[in-house]
Amino acid sequence: MVHYSKANLDNIFFALSDSVRREILTLLLRSEINIKNISTHFQITLQGVIKHIKILERANLVQKEKIGRENICRINTIPLTDATEFINYYTQFWQHNIDNLSDYLISMEKKMEGDKTNG
């Protein structure tokens, strides 16, 4: 059983709105990493990285674990799945429905025309 993601989708998309945070996630996709080492990859301070990690944590995209003196960060991709599944589901739903509506109304028009010529 996969644990539930309670992260607000707004939080997820806010977290993804920043290029540094997207790069952090891309980094974490390859491996979990100590928070101090993350800052060496970017031109920002450790304090800045901590701030970004907090935003990613709030969106449940990153989980932090203290192992000894290290703060290990790892990615959680479940919220990403949630966000895209919702959008994909409803995009397909509405496309399907508008196609159906179009087919239905075209068939009604044809039927009316047929009635006119026959009547």
| Interface with other proteins (CB under 8 A) | 2, 4-14, 16-17, 19, 22, 25-26, 29, 58, 77-91, 93-106, 108-109
Nearest CB to other proteins, comparing residues 45 and 97: 97
**40 alpha-carbon distance from chain centroid:** 27
Shortest gap between Cβ of 116 and other proteins (angstroms)?
A: 16
Shortest gap between Cβ of 72 and other proteins (angstroms)?
A: 17
Instruction: End-to-end CA distance of the chain: give it in Å, rounded.
Output: 63
Nearest CB to other proteins, comparing residues 30 and 69: 30
19 touches 63 (CB < 8 A) = no
Q: How many residues does the chain have?
A: 119
CB atoms within 10 A of CB 76: 19
Nearest CB to other proteins, comparing residues 9 and 72: 9
